[in-house]
Structure 1
């Protein structure tokens, strides 16, 4: 069945894109833990690899993380390594040094996926620019206990799974739905970040 897009739909799509841009959702990432490489959309490639043209390319660990603030690299790398033995869901706040926007604070909300033997094989998530809304404090990394996940944790996991499914779809309708999911991820991520800080 064909999807018809009229002028009002296009206008609301543009409004949604503007709202998403204003909300701070800046990108999505997908790490292959076996090959130790990442794939980013344009926003994530711009901030983490310092080149939006690297979007969709396989980037090895060092080139994939070159945009992370030098003072945050070591503790973040160690936290990510430890998370591989964790329970799947995590949230992190850290700084990046953007070529066009200076130092920015990002909230990264993601999930680790495991193979049938329980080995971590992939990690996917979303990046949100929280610079303007952030309180003064250092970065952090926290994992969610899947046995005691709150409704917000479950909502974030479901939204990430839905985002993953939409990434496999193509077309104008999936772009529109992706924007809606990104807005929802931003709101849920912001609440989780506030909760993790307190």
Structure 2
């Protein structure tokens, strides 16, 4: 599953869809209207919070894209792993004015890695091709980050962003089809 968020610097509020709200244990209607950034920060696992905030602050200061994996405490009481991907936009003076991004629930991928032995490969034949591609792209991104190669990392992040957009569009089409 994948969700979207947007941040307005003037109000320091985040608007998020229902999926993101539930991941961060936030009321979906309030999240859609917009809530202070701190409300969403409270949903980040305490052990990951400082690391995530440092990266987001750096992105808000320096610009560019960011991608980070971390844990959240979701509305169902389960600690979940997510991949957050975002970008900040700046005014003519270089101050952040807004940000937006996606959140992908990667809990199943992370739990599968922890349970599988190093030589064991998960059987993903039954998974839809786009979701299978996203799983492999996330695994590739983690490995590329270990290489500390900025060019490869940028390409892996671009692929994740494109896959995330397609997954989000697929999810929107599915929701619309169920509404009709």
TM-score > 0.5 by shorter chain: yes
Output one character per residue of 1:88-143: Cα deviation in whole Å (capped at 9) or x when no partner.
1000111111131510000011111111222221111111110111245xxx9x8x
Using the TM superposition, give the Cα deviation of residue 158 of structure 1 relative to its aligned residue in structure 2, in angstroms.
Answer: 6.6
Pair 1:179-2:155 in alignment:
no
Is residue 22 of structure 2 the alignment partner of residue 46 of structure 1?
A: yes
1:134-186: per-residue Cα shift (whole Å, max 9, x none)? 245xxx9x8x96x88744444556788xx6xxxxxxxxxxxx99523889xxx
Alpha-carbon separation, structure 1, partners of 2:79 and 2:49? 14
2:9 maps to 33
Over the aligned positions, Cα root-mean-square deviation in angstroms equals 3.3
**Cα deviation code 1:28-80 (max 9, x no counterpart):** 11011232110001111112242223231121122232221122222211221
Which runs of 5 or more residues in structure 1 are unaligned? 1-23, 164-175, 184-198
2:85 to 95, 109, 131: 109
Which residue of 95, 105, 121 corresponds with 2:97?
121
For 1:182 and 1:148, the matched residues in 2 are separated by 30
Whole-Å Cα distance in 2 between the matches of residues 159 and 91 of structure 1? 13
Q: Which residue in the other structure is 1:99 paired with? A: 75
User: Residues 26 and 39 of structure 2 are in contact (CA less than 8 Å); yes or no, is this contact kept in structure 1?
Assistant: no
Q: Within 5 A, what are the aligned runs for 1:1-198?
A: 24-25=1-2, 27-134=3-110, 135-136=113-114, 150-154=154-158, 179-180=169-170
The alpha-carbon distance between structure 1 residues 92 and 82, as it changes in their structure 2 partners (threshold 3 A), is same
User: How does the TM-score come out when normalised to structure 1?
Assistant: 0.57
What is the number of residues matched between the two proteins? 139
Match of 1:166?
none
Provide the TM-score with structure 2 as the length reference. 0.62
The 8 Å contact of residues 42 and 54 in structure 1, kept in 2 or not, is answered as no
Report the secondary structure of 2:55's partner residue: helix
Comparing both structures, which one devotes a greater share of its residues to helix? 2
Would the aligned equivalents of 2:25 and 2:74 in 1 still touch at CA under 8 Å?
no
